[in-house]
Each structure stands twice: as structure tokens, then as C-alpha cells.
Amino acid sequence: MNFVSTPISGLTIIEPRVFGDERGYFFESFNLNTFRKHIGDIHFVQDNESKSSHGVLRGLHFQKPPFDQAKLVRCVSGEVLDVAVDIRKGSPTYGQHVSVLLSGENKRQFFIPRGFAHGFVVLSESAVFAYKVDNWYAPTHDAGIAWNDAALGIDWQVDLSKILVSEKDGKLPCLGEMETPFRVE
């Protein structure tokens, strides 16, 4: 596996080594020892998967402490634009984001540590999206920021009139309107 740093410390793109022949392909999507060496100690407790159609945008989500989560995300089939936003007050990259193209073809993964809001939009006709988290889902600590917050400057690469969000995601506040629970000293 190749671990690629991004302009925001902690956000890491993971490119697996894919072995293919006439039968198909094989790749290792997670190896705890390799992950510990490049990212640090982590204990994933839950795997999640969703299927969505073109233009569906899920996010930008996070969980408040003590149920905050780190995520390891990937697109199993189709293509998505995956986005992580730094919401750690005091961070030199607060309010900045990294966008990564994830697809069933490139098999990239994206590691998002605690203290980031996360979301993705489907660029293909449909996509299956899977991710691991290191803390349990806690509905009472579920939170997020508006996907279309102009201050974030995210180019979702989809005609905005074609974007479909849940009712809940459509009501999320802008980053500047909320008190973030994450701090960098």
C-alpha cells in the first residue's frame, strides 16, 4: 500500500497494490500492522455501506465527542468525490478541505481522522460507498455542516441543481454558525 499525504495533516490517501490477471483482481484493503506504521494505532468497530445514485450528496457529517469518529472510506463501485473539512478550532488549516476522487476502478481509500467533517457526492450513474469507523454511531451526537457553505469553497463537480440531499442535511448550519467541539492547542 502507498500512503499519500495531503495538504492537510492527518488526511491520507491510501493506494493499494492491485494484483490482476485473467481471473480478475485481488488487493488488500486493510492491514492493521501497515496502518499502524503509517497512520497510527486505530481500532475500527463498525463497517458501513451505502448505495446512491448520481448527484446524491451525503454530508458533511461528524460526531461530537465522546463519540467522534475517524473513518477509512472507499468507493466499491462507481465514482464519488469525497471531501473532508478541517473543523478543529486553532488548526492552521481550519475551514480548509481536501477533495479526493474515489472509484471502484482506482480503489483508493481516504483516511479521515477525528476533527473533520466528511461528505461525498456521486459522480457516476450510481455508486456503492463503504467505510470503517473507530467509534460507535451515536444519534444524539450526530452533527454536520452545510455542504453548500460558500465559505468552504467546495467544488462538488456536479451541477448544483442536480444535487440531492436528505432533509436533515439540507438544514445543517454553516461552519461559521456553529460552535465546533474540536480544538487544536
Q: Do the beta carbons of residue 62 and residue 117 sit within 8 Å?
A: yes
pLDDT at 184: 86
Mean pLDDT of 28-51: 94
Alpha-carbon gap, residue 131 to 49, rounded angstroms: 6
pLDDT at position 185 over 80: no
Q: Given the C-alpha cell 497494490, which residue does it identify?
A: 17
Amino acid at 110: F
Q: Do the beta carbons of residue 147 and residue 124 sit within 8 Å?
A: no
Average pLDDT of the chain to the nearest whole number = 96
Positions marked active-site: 61, 131
Domains of the chain in sequence order: 2-183 (2.60.120.10)
> Residue 52: left (phi > 0), alpha (psi -120 to 50), or beta?
beta
* pLDDT, tens digit (0-9, with 9 covering 90-100), for 88-100: 999 999 999 999 9
Global model pTM greater than 0.85? yes
* pLDDT, tens digit (0-9, with 9 covering 90-100), for 107-148: 999 999 999 999 999 999 999 999 999 999 999 999 999 999
Identify each DSSP E strand in the chain by its residue range.
2-5, 12-15, 18-21, 24-27, 46-53, 57-63, 71-77, 79-86, 88-89, 97-103, 109-112, 116-122, 126-133, 142-144, 182-183
Q: Which residues pair with 4 in a beta bridge?
A: 13
C-alpha grid cell, residue 39: 497512520
Alpha-carbon gap, residue 108 to 103, rounded angstroms: 7
pLDDT at position 74 over 90: yes
Mean pLDDT of 76-99: 97
pLDDT at position 180 over 90: no
